[in-house]
Structure 1
C-alpha cells in the first residue's frame, strides 16, 4: 500500500514539479548565434584610413542607416560590422577613393530596457557580459514582490519579436526588454 501511495503522489505531483524546471529558451538562443547584428540606436566608429574627414562616430538612425559625408545614407540595420566595412568601401570606390581601407566597430551598443518589479525601471546602457541578474542590479535591485527566479525577455530576431521566460543567469543582448514579474506567493 505504501508503494501505491508514493506512486500516486508522484503521478499527481509531477505536473507541479514540471513547472519548476526551467528549460533553456530555444528561440532566444538562436538570436544569439553568429556575429552581432546592428540596429537603430547603435553607435559606430567608422575609420577610413588616410581620410580624417570621413572617420567619425555615426549613430544608426531609426531607418537603419548611417549618414556619411560624400556617400550619403548607408544601410546597416541587420548587418555585421564586416558587411558595413564592405558597403562603405564599395560606395567610396565609386568615384571618391581609389582603394579605400575601412574599419568599423561598435562604439556604443543600443540600450536595454527593464520593466516590472525592479526599483528603477527604464532604459539603461548595455554593458558586456550582461545577464538578467546584473540588469536587475543596474536597475536598483528587486522590489519586495519580485519573482527572483525567472524573468521574461523580448528580443527582435529577424522581423519578429520573440518573448520567452528565462532564468536570472540568461544573457541579455542590446535592445532586449526584460520584464520582472510579481511573484505569486
Structure 2
C-alpha cells in the first residue's frame, strides 16, 4: 500500500478517535457532584458498600481549592456536622456519597461555582460487646472484623463459660435485635451492638 494512503488512513482513524472523545465528554453529566469518593481511610470494601454514617464518626471534609472550607468534624449528638459557610448539615444515616453531594449542593447555592467535595471517614464510631464475655464494653471499630472468626469476641476478652457460642444477638443502628447464627460472614459494622447470650445447661 502506498505510503500516502497509509498516512491518509491513519489520519482518518485519529480524527474519528478524537471525535468520539469529544462526544463522550459532551454527553457526560456536567453536574457539580462528580468528585471521586474515597470512602474510608484504608477502608474495608465490605464496609464501604454498606456503611452509613452515625453519631460519633469523625470525618475529613475536603473542598478542593478552598482550604478555609475544608475541615475535620465529628457527627454530633443531633446527627449533624457543622461546616463553614453552610452551617449544620444532616449526616446521620447517610452514605458518604450522599453527604458529599449534599455539601456540594449547599455550597453551590450562592457560595461557590462548581464545588468539588470529598468526604472521608477518619475514625469510626465504636462497637459494643456485652453479655457473656469477660470484658464487655465499648471498643474501637477495626476494619476487617466479621462474625466468622473469633476476633470480634476476643477483643472483649473472649467467652465466659456460660456463653452461648452458637449464635449472638445483634442490633444494628435503627434496627431491631436479631439472632445471628455463628459462624457468619456478615461484617461487623461501626455502631454494632453485640450481645452474647447465656446458654442453657
Q: Does TM, scored on the shorter chain, surpass 0.5?
A: yes
Pairing 1:128–2:143 present: yes
CA distance in 1, matches of 2:77, 2:92: 9
CA contact (8 A) 1:43 1:58 kept: yes
With normalisation by structure 1, the TM-score equals 0.74
Q: Which runs of 4+ in 1 moved over 6 A?
A: none
Q: How far off is 1:136 after superposition?
A: 0.7
With normalisation by structure 2, the TM-score equals 0.69
What residue number does 1:173 align with? 189
Q: How far off is 1:33 after superposition?
A: 10
CA distance in 2, matches of 1:57, 1:150: 38
Once superposed, what is the RMSD of the aligned Cα atoms? 2.0
Q: Which runs of 5+ in 1 are unaligned?
A: 1-31
Pairing 1:182–2:198 present: yes
Pairing 1:152–2:169 present: yes
Could you tell which deviates more after superposition, 166-175 or 101-110? Answer: 166-175
Larger Rg: 2
What residue number does 1:4 align with? none
Q: Which runs of 5+ in 2 are unaligned?
A: 1-46
Residue deviations 1:111-157, cap 9 Å, x none? Answer: 11001111110011111121243211111111222222221111134
Of Structure 1 and Structure 2, the greater strand share is in 1
What residue number does 1:3 align with? none
CA distance in 2, matches of 1:168, 1:177: 17
Could you tell which deviates more after superposition, 138-147 or 161-170? Answer: 161-170
Residue deviations 1:88-119, cap 9 Å, x none? Answer: 11111122222211001122121110011111
CA distance in 1, matches of 2:166, 2:159: 11
What residue number does 1:86 align with? 101
